[in-house]
Amino acid sequence: MRSELLQMLLDHQGNFVSGEAISQHLGCSRTAVWKHIEELRKAGYKLEAAPRKGYRIIHQPNLLTENEIKAGLKTNYIGKHVVYEKSVSSTQEIAHRLAREKVAEGTIVVADEQVGGKGRLGRAWFSPIGTGIWMSMILKPKIPPQRAPQLTLLAAVAVIRGIHAATGLHCDIKWPNDILLKGKKLVGILTEMQADPDQIHSVIIGIGINVNQKNFPDEIKEIATSLSLEKGEDVNRALVMQSIMAEFEQLYELFLKDGFLPIKQMWEAHATTIGRRITARTVSGAIEGFAKGITEDGVLLLEDDFGTIHKIYSADIDF
Ligand code: BTX
């Protein structure tokens, strides 16, 4: 109910909404409206109350709790159930537990801070409090487990489109799944799965987005950036998250209906790695050549100077 109230006040940005209109819309008493208004105030909203006029929002804090995420969310099932935590080790861990408890598809776990944020291959993801979007999405696609990596690529396209819709900023993808803004890492995506050899139970897509950080620890300060560093102002995390979830749901529906091909084409159109000369540093050495594209599994196809096509499964890429 509180997210509906918030939605109503936000829809009337700056203008008063009467207590009567709110209580009718929410189907609750004027006293209950007043209690919800007090709760919003406690959460950091500045709300003006005027006799015979009602309530209006004067200041909206940059929060990412269930209320902010749901108010204005335009999806059918992605993000309809939100589990918000102030501080966690990793949202992936909570999502894994919820997935085992059989929560609805599209459930999102989001935290204000992760103290044990996970990257790929055992690496850490720096997730300081109140600055970024640290979220895990639970999906239950009826596809064979081998196709699950395609969802990482789908998520990358959704994130790029969502960020563009919310902020106007253009990001690129660097194979396999780094999302870069002006050459620096803005987003990390980690896909994990619960499956039998022939059946997926859940896919858990972890997305970490640097939104309002002004600085980074020494280890990553040369390679990382945030949306606010590029925009020169703070960015509303809930709006970015809603926009990404809306893009994700559309692309996911397309993927389930028409398969991976349309997603692959969108991914390639955003990937700086494709269509240029690159060096792929693999564990067995460096290969130089022309990046032709990706396969259905997201494997990079690299043509060397002798015309041999190499399938690159894992590598660091230099341009
Ligand atoms: P990755 O392995 O591609 O990236 C990890 C590497 O990126 C680190 O080794 C470090 O060099 C650098 N790095 C760490 N933190 C940041 C940061 N905030 N910004 C830029 N660079 C950084 C990418 O792994 C996958 C990350 C997924 C994170 C999400 S957050 C929600 C969910 N929960 C969770 O524990 N992980 C996922």
Would the CB of 190 count as within 6 Å of ligand 1? yes
Would the CB of 123 count as within 6 Å of ligand 1? yes
Q: Are strands 82-88 and 108-114 parallel, antiparallel or unpaired?
A: parallel
Q: What is the mean pLDDT of residues 12-40?
A: 91
239 and 286 together in one domain: no
How far is the centre of ligand 1, averaged over its atoms, from the C-alpha of 174 (Å)? 14
- Going by alpha carbons, the residue nearest to atom 32 of ligand 1 is 206
How far is the centre of ligand 1, averaged over its atoms, from the C-alpha of 8 (Å)? 36
7 and 124 together in one domain: no
73 and 183 together in one domain: yes
Would the CB of 209 count as within 6 Å of ligand 1? no
Would the CB of 126 count as within 6 Å of ligand 1? yes
Give me the amino acid identity at 88: V
- For residue 13, what pLDDT is reported? 78
148 and 255 together in one domain: yes
Containing H/E element for 177? Answer: none
Would the CB of 92 count as within 6 Å of ligand 1? yes
Instruction: Determine phi and psi for 189, rounding to 5 degrees.
Output: -125, 130
Bridge partners (DSSP) listed for residue 293: 301
18 and 84 together in one domain: no
- Summarize pLDDT for 112-132 with one digit per residue, the tens: 999 999 999 899 999 999 999
Would the CB of 225 count as within 6 Å of ligand 1? no
Containing H/E element for 284? Answer: none
Report whether 170 contacts 159 (CB < 8 A).
no
Question: Residues in the chain, how many?
Answer: 319
- Cα separation, 290 vs 302, whole angstroms: 6
280 and 266 together in one domain: no
How many whole angstroms from its chain centre is CA 263? Answer: 17
What would the two tokens of residue 109 be? 């776990």
Banded model confidence at residue 72, pLDDT cuts 50, 70, 90: confident
How far is the centre of ligand 1, averaged over its atoms, from the C-alpha of 188 (Å)? 5
Q: Which residue has the tokens 């970490």?
A: 208
Alpha-carbon separation of residue 40 from 45, 60, 83 (angstroms): 6, 10, 18
Which of 147, 209, 145, 152 lies closest to 176, judged by CA? 152
Please list, residue by residue across 275-303, b when 16 or more beta carbons sit within 10 angstroms of its beta carbon and e when fewer do. Answer: eeebebeeeeeebebebebbeeebbbbbe
- Summarize pLDDT for 162-210 with one digit per residue, the tens: 999 999 999 999 988 899 999 999 999 999 999 999 999 999 999 999 9
- Ligand-binding annotation for 146, yes or no, is no
- For residue 98, what pLDDT is reported? 97
Would the CB of 119 count as within 6 Å of ligand 1? yes
Overall domain count for the chain: 3
Closest approach atom of ligand 1 to CA 208: 30
User: The whole model's pTM is what?
Assistant: 0.92
Would the CB of 180 count as within 6 Å of ligand 1? no
Report whether 179 contacts 160 (CB < 8 A).
yes
- Of 254, 270, 286, the position where a domain reaches its end is 270
Would the CB of 145 count as within 6 Å of ligand 1? no
Q: Which residue has the tokens 């109230």?
A: 5
How far is the centre of ligand 1, averaged over its atoms, from the C-alpha of 172 (Å)? 17
Q: What is the mean pLDDT of residues 51-67?
A: 90
Would the CB of 53 count as within 6 Å of ligand 1? no
- Cα separation, 138 vs 151, whole angstroms: 12
How far is the centre of ligand 1, averaged over its atoms, from the C-alpha of 90 (Å)? 11
- Of 235, 250, 270, the position where a domain reaches its end is 270
Residue 295's domain comprises 276-318
- For residue 3, what pLDDT is reported? 85
CATH of the domain at 303: 2.30.30.100
Say how many C-beta atoms besides its own lie within 10 A of residue 2's C-beta. 18
226 and 306 together in one domain: no
- Ligand-binding annotation for 114, yes or no, is yes
Banded model confidence at residue 252, pLDDT cuts 50, 70, 90: very high
Report whether 133 contacts 209 (CB < 8 A).
yes
CATH of the domain at 34: 1.10.10.10
Q: Which residue has the tokens 């926009």?
A: 243
85 and 228 together in one domain: yes
- Best substitution site from 98, 125, 131 to test ligand 1's pocket, by max atoms within 8 Å of Cβ? 125
- Of 59, 84, 100, the position where a domain reaches its end is 59
Banded model confidence at residue 26, pLDDT cuts 50, 70, 90: very high
- Cα separation, 127 vs 38, whole angstroms: 30
Q: Which residue has the tokens 């896919």?
A: 203
CATH of the domain at 102: 3.30.930.10
Q: Are strands 46-50 and 54-59 parallel, antiparallel or unpaired?
A: antiparallel
Q: Which residues contact 191 (CB under 8 A, 6 or more apart)?
A: 148, 149, 151, 152, 155, 203, 204, 205, 206
